[in-house]
């Protein structure tokens, strides 16, 4: 009887193990489509290192970030982190004035397909627009950030320690005031946040585009920059 009881208990335990294993496998298989879709999106955005694109069971956040103490940054990058951290919130750039002319507005209208008369028809704008002149597209102002912040100049690299600097996107963008044609604009910026990644740093750079003789800025954008060690 003891042998029979032992066999029954063994069968019951085996059944329980099989049930748990089946449940885990089913859960994993159900999550595959979502996981694959996320990885495909990562590939399109080039947001992960190449070696991580097909690690389907590793969460993307674990790849691009790490818990405190697990970051493997070089000594130079750790010094850069400390330097930026100590200056958070301090304005670190004021650009040169730049005149926004009608020719540039027209070029942007042609490229973007946004040919609304409020941007491209000076005569109609003078008669019908509340601004009495044409105004720049908000996205044109936004697109001028690299020029206005001088980040397109290879001779003025603010982060020479970085092997590569990547525009990772925007947290938010607002356009508090229009830019009338012929007005001068310039950029001011500061770093408002920083965090360590496994192979670099992520900065949040607040950029304000001000308009000459205007109390309100034309644009305020929080730009994400990734610096790779």
Per the structure block, which two tokens stand in for 216?
């309100």
- Residues 22, 97, single domain; the answer is no
pLDDT score for 36: 53
- Residues 185, 126, single domain; the answer is yes
- Residues 45, 88, single domain; the answer is no
C-beta separation of 140 from 198 below 8 A: no
Q: Say what percent of the chain tops pLDDT 90.
A: 56
- Residues 156, 54, single domain; the answer is no
Q: What are phi and psi of 132, to 5 degrees?
A: 60, 20
Residue 81 belongs to domain spanning: 75-228
- Residues 87, 167, single domain; the answer is yes
CA distance 201 to 169: 14
- Residues 57, 91, single domain; the answer is no
Q: Say what percent of the chain tops pLDDT 70.
A: 69
Mind listing the pLDDT tens digit for each residue in 201-221?
A: 999 999 999 999 999 999 999
Q: What are phi and psi of 106, to 5 degrees?
A: -65, -40
What DSSP string runs through 68-97? TT-----HHHHHHHHHHHHTTT-EEEE---
The residue out of 39, 64, 89 marking a domain boundary is 64
Number of structural domains (the chain) is 2
- Residues 60, 82, single domain; the answer is no
Q: Tell the residue number behind the tokens 């970030």, with chain if given.
A: 65
- Residues 51, 97, single domain; the answer is no
The residue out of 42, 64, 86 marking a domain boundary is 64
- Residues 36, 13, single domain; the answer is yes
Longest dimension (CA), the chain: 103
pLDDT score for 152: 76
Per the structure block, which two tokens stand in for 46?
């080039």
**201 is a domain residue:** yes
pLDDT score for 160: 86
Res. 33: pLDDT tops 80:
no
Average pLDDT, the chain: 81
Confidence class for position 157, pLDDT limits 50, 70, 90:
confident
The residue out of 25, 44, 64 marking a domain boundary is 64
- Which residues are within 8 A (CB) of 99 and not within 5 positions of it... i.e. 6 or more apart? 182, 183, 184
**69 is a domain residue:** no
**How many of the other CB atoms lie within 10 Å of CB of 14?**
10
Mind listing the pLDDT tens digit for each residue in 37-83?
A: 555 454 444 444 433 333 333 334 433 444 444 557 888 889 999 99
Closest CA to 42 of 52, 31, 27: 52
In three-state secondary structure terms, 174 is strand
- Residues 95, 208, single domain; the answer is yes
Query: Which domain CATH number covers 122?
Result: 3.10.129.10
Task: Decide which of 179 and 26 is more confident.
Answer: 179
pTM equals: 0.67
Mind listing the pLDDT tens digit for each residue in 79-114?
A: 999 999 999 999 999 999 999 999 999 999 999 999
pLDDT score for 17: 59
173 conformational bin, left if phi > 0, alpha if psi -120 to 50, beta if neither: beta
**163 is a domain residue:** yes
Res. 222: pLDDT tops 90:
yes
């Amino acid at each position: 009887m003891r042998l029979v009881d032992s066999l029954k208990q063994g069968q019951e335990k085996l059944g329980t193990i099989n049930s748990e294993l089946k449940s885990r496998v089913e859960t994993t298989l159900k999550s595959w489509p979502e996981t694959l879709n996320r990885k495909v999106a990562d590939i399109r955005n080039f947001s992960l290192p190449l070696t991580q694109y097909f690690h389907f069971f590793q969460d993307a956040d674990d790849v691009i970030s790490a818990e405190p103490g697990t970051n493997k940054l070089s000594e130079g990058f750790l010094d850069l982190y400390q330097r930026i951290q100590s200056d958070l919130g301090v304005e670190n750039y004021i650009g040169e004035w730049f005149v926004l002319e009608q020719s540039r507005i027209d070029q942007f209208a042609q490229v973007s397909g946004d040919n609304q008369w409020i941007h491209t028809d000076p005569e109609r704008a003078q008669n019908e627009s509340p601004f009495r002149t044409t105004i720049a597209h908000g996205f044109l102002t936004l697109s001028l950030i690299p020029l206005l912040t001088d980040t397109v100049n290879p001779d003025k690299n603010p982060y020479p320690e970085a092997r590569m600097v990547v525009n990772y996107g925007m947290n938010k963008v607002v356009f508090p005031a229009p830019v009338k044609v012929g007005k001068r604009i310039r950029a001011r910026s500061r770093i408002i946040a920083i965090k360590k990644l496994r192979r670099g740093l992520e900065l949040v750079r607040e950029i304000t585009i001000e308009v000459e003789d205007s109390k309100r800025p034309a644009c305020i954008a929080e730009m994400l920059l990734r610096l790779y060690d």
